[in-house]
Chain A
Amino acid sequence: MVWTTIAVALAAFVLAIGIIATSVLNLARKRSAFVVTQRWRSIFEGESLPDSVPLIRRSQVATVLHVWNDCYVAGARPQLVRAARAVNFEALALDLVRRRREDERLIGLFALGTMRSPAVVPVAIKLAAGGPALLELVAYRALALVDEGMVLPFVQKIAENDEWNVAKVEFVCVELGARKLSRALNHVVTNASGAQLERLRPFLRFCLPQSTKA
């Protein structure tokens, strides 16, 4: 029992050190993230790009692309594409996608999809095959945005799984547009079971009238 007590006390001590270390790291990370976020948000939301953009360190890539993604979802799009070209975001996002942490992969994958970068395809195929539902959805989004041929598998996946958030799928559908979605939707709806039809119901408004008739 003495050794058990000593082991438990040591474990508690290690955790206590862990708490202090994590707390200090959190503080430093928060400060750094705040500065980077403010700087890049003003660039992305500005009318024009400044003459020189700040250098992005490896530890800042995820934060910068996170801000870029947020600005894209909020609707500030033309400036974003210009900024992406100027800073070569494609290479940065590819670096993120190859990292181990899922949150970094998600940020990189979303950005690459938005940029319609063909380089995303091999990684996206791998991530679309399994993993957290959110990562899977973003991988399918990237594939469908890059390659029109992947819209059909995307719609089939919507019909088959009930783990994707409807609101997020709807956002991707709007991005793809009715023209790309309509044929795939019709194809899947024709062969769908009752439960699959139920899952597709919220997206049927993306069917164009002429293809629906067909």
Chain B
Amino acid sequence: MTPFAVHRIDNPTAALIVLIVEVLLFSYFLVVNAVYLGTALVAFVRLPRLVRLLRADPLRDLTPASLPGVSVLVPAYNEERHILRTVESLLNQDYPNFEVIVVDDGSTDATVDVLIERYGLALSSEIHPIAIPAVPVRATYRSSSERRFRILVKDNGGKGDALNAGINVAGNRLIFACDGDSVYTKDALKKMVEPFVDDSKTVGVGSSIGVSNDCLLDYDPIVRKRLSKNWLVRFQVLDYLNAFLSSRVGWARCNALTIVSGASGLWRKDVLIEAGGFRTDTKWEDLEMTIRVHHMLRKKRRAYRIRYTPFSICWTDVPDRVTSLWNQRVGWHRHVSECMSLHRRLLFSRYAGVVGWVMLPYLMLAEWLSPLVVLFGLLFGLVAAYFGFLGYFSQVVLFALVLALGVLTSCCALLLDELTFDTYPLPDALRLLLCTFFVVLGFRPLVTLANLAGFWRWATRAPIGGHRDIVGPGSPPYDPLRS
């Protein structure tokens, strides 16, 4: 039996074409999985050791007053249900020097009202410098009781624009970009700032994100971590463990972290300003900013590091319905497409190093083009079956291999979590283990379809959608394609 699906083809040209296509598809499959398992291997070697060492450190809880100041930016659009929880968790930080700035991005619900009521905020007349153009701030509210907290109210311009408005008023040299619907552990800022303190070349830090659906939250550490009963949420728990534990630890090790998540990303303010601030014309802003900073600093040949802390300092609810998951993943894939297009010149350029020669090609193959490859593979299989080229036994074996690799990758992530953070108790770990089979059978096909839709929306230049439709008059940010 050949390793591929060729059964019997009398026409030598057709046989050659089928063989080439199958070799290409199989190589793609092998390369993508091999790189993934490679990053997982790095994580296996490095992460448990690192986490044990950090936990054993008797000086881990020191919080000297000399730590650098942080401005926490919380862009909020219609977050009346979550915003209080988010702000409480941020104001509760065990950190000596920080401010929290909520930027209301033209909410049409009571986001601002609930904050005004809770903190007794009053209008304040402030003039803000403009380092990055953004939709003008209409009003600023300050609290007399909580001096570290203020709200900026502006017209809608998208998350990137809200962050830019926040950067303009931020008083500290570090910017912590958050989401208005997540909660943060008490040591979040301390853990995020540590890489800056340890290494002066650090310009950005990303963190792991935990899934908080059905967890008991009480502003400060998650009171009880437990697995949701919703299977869609469970699949995403595995997906998050895969991304944050197996993959990012490996990429960060070689200074090629693909993304500093928008829900918990710490950046040096001067680098954000130098990069021109967050883009307002893309579906999301975090992946683009991370690649842009890589692009800018590599092009300028400056020594820098984008670090990653594997601790889940941010906990967020993931979609628990198929429609909301679909919308989220369509948006994510559209953003990946936008980034690949915007930063195509970083690919294989002389100055790009590991980012342009390994990380971006992998992102292109494993993320951006993956739905197209899957679609092509399926169509090819259908056509081959129609003409009677398929060896059905080979197809069954191929399917079994895909299933086994899917289970293997999920198990890698789950085992890593058990060896390091032990997030879920034994019964939940067993439930997640059971999920590993159904991830391949149900979740991944759904996500692949959503990715295909995202690719299509990008290719057809469909409107960005949601509140991001209204784009502010911000100037174009640093464009590596033009400079």
Interface residues of A (CB under 8 A from B): 1-2, 4-5, 8-9, 11-12, 15-16, 18-20, 22-24, 26-27, 30, 62, 66, 69-70, 72-73, 101-104, 106-107, 110, 132-135, 162-168, 170-171, 202
Contacts and interface: CB of A to CB of B under 8 A. Distances in A.
Interface residues of B, number: 45
Contacts, number: 122
A202 B66 contact: yes
A168 B198 CA distance: 10
B58 interface: yes
Contacts of B419: 22
Contacts of A69: 58
Contact of B401 (A1, A107, A110): A1
Contacts of A5: 397, 400-401, 404
A15 B408 contact: yes
A102 B411 CA distance: 26
A135 B415 contact: no
B56 A106 contact: yes
Contacts of A170: 64, 66
A66 B54 CA distance: 12
Given A1-B394, A167-B64, A103 B407 contact: no
Interface stretch (B332-340, B422-430, B474-482): B422-430
Interface of B: 1, 3-4, 49, 52-59, 61-64, 66-67, 194, 197-200, 394, 397-398, 400-401, 404-405, 407-408, 411-412, 414-415, 418-419, 422, 425-426, 429-430, 433, 436
Nearest to A137: B59
B400 A26 contact: no
Nearest to A168: B59
A78 B391 CA distance: 78
Contacts of B4: 1
Given A20-B430, A73-B58, A102 B401 contact: no
Contact of A16 (B3, B405, B433): B433
Contact of A66 (B56, B200, B408, B422): B56
Given A73-B59, A102-B52, A18 B408 contact: no
B58 A102 contact: no
B408 A1 contact: no
A41 to B, nearest CB: 14
Contacts of B58: 66, 69-70, 72-73, 107, 110
